[in-house]
Amino acid sequence: MEKVKELIIEHLATKKQTGKNFGKVLCLVGAPGVGKTSIARSIAQALGRPYEKVSLGGLHDEAEIRGHRSTYIGARPGVIVQALQRAKVKNPVINLDEIDKMGESKYNGNPAAAFLEILDPEQNENYRDHYIELPVDLSQVMFICTANQIENIPNTLRDRMQVIEIPSYTQTDKKSIAKNFLIPNLLTKNNLTEQQLTFEDEAIQIIITNYTWEAGIRNLETKLQSIVSKFIAKFIKNELKSENITTEKVREYLGKPDASDLTFEADYSVAGVVNGLSAYSREMGGGSILPIEVRVIDSGKEEIIITGNLKETAKESVQTAISYVKANSQAFNINPEDIDFTKKTLHIHVPKGGIPKDGSSAGTALTTAIISALTGKKINREVGMTGEITLYGQVSGIGGLREKLTAAHQRGLKTIFIPKKNEKDLDDIPSEIKDELTIISATNYWEI
């Protein structure tokens, strides 16, 4: 978060130096629960300004932004003027929450177009709301946008923003937040004291590792609240007066771990199994280990079977990996009879078929799994890899490296192969993760 803080301070310092809202609007982008709204609220508090939040998710009527004309029944000002009315000042901090989830209506205009004027410092000094029909000076308002998917924001609107990526939390981050903020807040909210309910460090860790799988902390807070509620139920019944939550108590209160639903423990005792790494969308957050299984079957016919709910781009990556292996079979010491697919079925499977999988970042893992299956050489279960591969073996860059390495570290992997082009992203990886992983970068598959 240090880099995020630096960028925000630089942005605010520029505004202070110029004395006005000069330049672009802050847009905080990240997965749900990583603290975007909290950061916006903290900025308002640091500046000594009132904070107002305007929720834009699902809004599809431009009149909700610009206001309804007073001749209509039920007419009212737009959401921006309403926020100014609540703040009672002309220079509040207004958080435009979930700006990426605004809709567009064929009949009610385009809300995003309305924000082109609102967020433009050259125009918003004389913003006109349809309801009050008078100019409104928005030049002193500090707008902060928050979003999950920057790609969903129209380019014309995105050009007016300084986008700051809010990274996902590491396990250490989550543990610290739980101990110092979540648990004390939950105790206060539920009228409990630290003497009545305590949590051991190991208990907090097992909740994070086995009962949540997210970039933020919302599910973690939900699990902690569930434990607190169960304790209160026993407390009200006079079954106990105080309790120390241990790992055993966590299992008693929360039941079977459910984070395992997003993971799969492959059989690494056979050839053809390799750990790929995946990053979920920002909506879901986080990353995961993605075991890839390849099996060669003497079926007497040529056939390639791809299973595991792979989408088009992922299937193309499979075809690219197969072509690369065929073209370099001698170099990989593959028996010519084994590479003759005219009499063999090559089955490539990615477990957890209920979860759609897309993207090309599994190219190196797919290639390794195919070579392993054809040569009979097993791959160490503590090895993982990510990277797109070309027909000539070039390893291309990928996205979501932080999430992938976090998942690899969490699941006990030791050696990770990444594209050379992603070395620059290692600066954003916490040292607690990098120090416990052997990270090898490659520009060509021969380096793997």
Task: Give the CATH number, domain containing residue 48.
Answer: 3.40.50.300
Distance CA 260, CA 443 (A): 33
In single-letter form, the type of residue at position 181 comes to F
Same domain membership, residue 67 and residue 37: yes
pLDDT band, residue 432 (cuts 50/70/90): confident
311: left (phi over 0), alpha (psi -120 to 50) or beta: beta
Concerning whether 323 is annotated as a catalytic residue, the answer is no
Same domain membership, residue 256 and residue 125: no
Q: Which runs of E-coded beta strand occur in 47-102? A: 51-55, 93-97
Give the rounded percent of residues in the chain with a pLDDT score beyond 70.
94
Distance CA 41, CA 13 (A): 18
Instruction: From residue 2, give the alpha-carbon distance in Å to each of 27, 64, 165, 167, 352.
Output: 17, 37, 12, 11, 36
Query: If you average pLDDT over every residue of the chain, what do you get?
Result: 88
**DSSP secondary structure code for residue 46 in this structure:** H
Same domain membership, residue 336 and residue 274: yes
Same domain membership, residue 142 and residue 12: yes
Distance CA 225, CA 212 (A): 13
Q: In this structure, are residues 394 and 417 in contact, taking their beta carbons and an 8 Å threshold?
A: no
Same domain membership, residue 118 and residue 65: yes
Range scoring the smallest mean pLDDT among 90-94, 161-165, 335-339, 435-439? 335-339
CATH number of the domain that residue 251 is part of? 1.10.8.60
* pLDDT computed for residue 58 by the predictor: 83
Same domain membership, residue 107 and residue 55: yes
Phi, psi (5° rounding) for residue 109? 80, -175
pLDDT band, residue 410 (cuts 50/70/90): confident
**327-378 confidence digits (pLDDT tens):** 998 899 888 776 777 788 899 999 877 778 888 899 999 999 999 999 999 9
For residue 3, pLDDT over 80 is answered with no
For residue 143, the cross-strand partners are 94
Q: In this structure, are residues 273 and 350 in contact, taking their beta carbons and an 8 Å threshold?
A: no
Give the rounded percent of residues in the chain with a pLDDT score beyond 90.
50
For residue 394, pLDDT over 60 is answered with yes
* pLDDT computed for residue 179 by the predictor: 95
CATH number of the domain that residue 331 is part of? 3.30.230.10
* pLDDT computed for residue 447 by the predictor: 93
Instruction: Report the DSSP pairing between strands 197-199 and 243-245.
Output: parallel
Out of 36, 175, 344, 404, which one is annotated catalytic?
A: 404
**132-177 confidence digits (pLDDT tens):** 888 899 988 999 999 998 888 888 899 989 999 888 888 888 999 9
Which domain-ending residue is among 112, 137, 165? Answer: 165
Same domain membership, residue 300 and residue 273: yes
pLDDT band, residue 43 (cuts 50/70/90): very high
Give the mean pLDDT of 91-100: 94
Q: In this structure, are residues 344 and 337 in contact, taking their beta carbons and an 8 Å threshold?
A: no
Same domain membership, residue 283 and residue 146: no
Same domain membership, residue 104 and residue 203: no
Q: In this structure, are residues 276 and 385 in contact, taking their beta carbons and an 8 Å threshold?
A: yes
* pLDDT computed for residue 182 by the predictor: 96
Going by C-alpha positions, the residue among 41, 85, 67 that lies closest to residue 133 is 67
**52-76 confidence digits (pLDDT tens):** 999 998 888 888 888 888 778 878 8
Q: Residue 321: which domain range? A: 264-447
Which domain-ending residue is among 229, 261, 293? Answer: 261
For residue 110, pLDDT over 90 is answered with no
Residue 420 burial (C-beta neighbours within 10 Å; 0-12, 13-18, 19+): middle
Same domain membership, residue 313 and residue 300: yes
Out of 242, 361, 420, 441, which one is annotated catalytic?
A: 361
Distance CA 184, CA 350 (A): 42
Domain count, the chain: 3
Same domain membership, residue 222 and residue 92: no
Concerning whether 179 is annotated as a catalytic residue, the answer is no
Burial code of 358-373, b = ≥16 C-beta within 10 A, e = fewer?
bbbbbbbbbbbbbbbb
Q: Which residue has the higher pLDDT, 184 or 238?
A: 184
**255-282 confidence digits (pLDDT tens):** 988 655 445 567 778 899 999 998 875 5
**DSSP secondary structure code for residue 178 in this structure:** I
Distance CA 282, CA 387 (A): 20
Could you tell me how far CA 45 lies from the centroid of its own chain? 27
* pLDDT computed for residue 105 by the predictor: 64
**Sequence-ordered list of residues with C-beta below 8 angstroms from that of 15, at least 6 positions apart, any chain:** 21, 22, 23, 142
Range scoring the smallest mean pLDDT among 3-12, 101-110, 313-322, 381-390? 101-110
Same domain membership, residue 374 and residue 329: yes
Going by C-alpha positions, the residue among 226, 309, 285, 322 that lies closest to residue 407 is 285
Q: Which residue has the higher pLDDT, 184 or 133?
A: 184
Which domain-ending residue is among 241, 261, 281? Answer: 261
